[in-house]
Amino acid sequence: MKLLQHFSDDLESLVARASPAVVGVEHARGHGTGLFLTPDGYVLTNRHVVVRGSRKLTVQLSNGEELRGTLVGSDAPTDLAVVRAEGGDFPTLPLAEPESVRVGQLVMAIGNPFHLEQSVSLGVVSAINRSIGLPDGVMLEGMLQTDAAINPGNSGGPLLNMRGQVVGLNTLVLPYAQGIGFAVSATTAAWIASLLIQRGKVDRRFLGIAATAVSLDARLTRENGQSRAVKVLRVQDGTPAHEAGLQVDDLLLAINQRPVNSVDDLQRLMALATEDEVTLDLLRKGRGRKTARARTRPRIEPVAA
C-alpha cells in the first residue's frame, strides 16, 4: 500500500511540474494542445492543429489566461508546427535523450481532449520507430506508439516519462482501434522546431527510399564503428536513389560522412544537406562497404486539403 501511495504522490508531483508548460492552441476552426519550447514564447504543436486555421491563433495557459499567437512555420512530413505566443518568461520542459526511450517505459500524456483542459492519462511506450500513412499521402516515420489515452484535442501535447522529460509529441490515434496512439519523437521535434524557428520551413532533399532502422551484429559494429544503420526497404524507380544504384536490403551507414543510426537521422541529414549531390556510405550483402553518390532534388510536399 505504501508503494502505491508513493507512486501516486510522484505522479501528482509530476503533473504539477509539467502542466504549466502545456497550453491550449485555439482558432476559429478547431483546437489542440501545445508545449512551450522556449521561455520567450515559442510553442510546439501539430501541423494539423493549426494548418486549417488562420495565422491568428489563441494560446491558452494552464491558468486560463489567453494570449495571441502567430504561426511561425509548419512541416508536413512530421506533422509539426511552431506558434509564437505574445509574452515571455514561460515555463518549459526538458526533452528526453533518444537512447532513454524504451518499449515498456511508463509515460504520461497531458492535453486538452474535447476541450477538457489539462487532462492526464497514463500508459506505456508500446513500440518505437513506427511508420504511419496519412490520408493526404504524408508518411509519418520514426513514431512512438503508446496506449496512453489520446483523443481529439490531445494533438500537440507532450508524452512524458516519469522524470518529467518529453519523449514525444502526441499526434494521432487509429480511429478503428482502442488504446493505440502515436507521438512524434522528441528528437525529431527538436531539430524540426529549430529549423522552423530559424527559417519558417524545412527544406529537404529528395532521395526516394523507404527505410527502417536496424541493429548491426557485433562484427559489423566493430568494423564500422556504429551499432545501428538504416535498411533500405524500397527504392522508387526514377528517383535519385535509383539512379545512384541503391538496392533493397542495402544498409545506409552515413550521409556526407555523418553517421545514420535512425530514420530520424536520415531525414535530418537530408534536410541539412546544402549541395545537390550527397555521398552515401552503405553496406551491401556479399560486397562489403561501398560509396554511392546521389544527385538529389528538392522534395515536393503534398498540400493538405
Q: What is the pLDDT of residues 195-209, one digit of tens each?
A: 999 999 998 888 999
6 is catalytic: no
Task: Quote the pLDDT of residue 304.
Answer: 37
Share of the chain above pLDDT 70, in %: 94
Helices (H), 30-75: 47-50
pLDDT bracket for residue 218 (50, 70, 90): very high
Of 132-146, 223-237, 266-280, the least confident: 132-146
The mean per-residue pLDDT over the stretch 115-123 comes to 90
pLDDT above 70: residue 135: no
Please give the grid coordinates belonging to residue 236: 522508387
Of 69-73, 173-177, 178-182, the least confident: 173-177
Helices (H), 181-257: 186-199, 218-224, 240-243
Alpha carbon distance 121, 177 (integer Å) = 17
Q: Which entry of 74, 155, 185, 262 is annotated as an active-site residue? A: 155
Q: Which entry of 48, 75, 119, 265 is annotated as an active-site residue? A: 48
pLDDT above 60: residue 301: no
8 is catalytic: no
Higher-pLDDT residue of 55 and 4 is: 4
Please give the grid coordinates belonging to residue 216: 548491426
The mean per-residue pLDDT over the stretch 250-274 comes to 90
Average pLDDT, the chain: 89
Q: Which entry of 27, 31, 74, 79 is annotated as an active-site residue? A: 79
Please give the grid coordinates belonging to residue 251: 544498409
203 is catalytic: no
Q: What is the distance between the terminal CA atoms of the chain, rounded to a whole angstrom?
A: 53
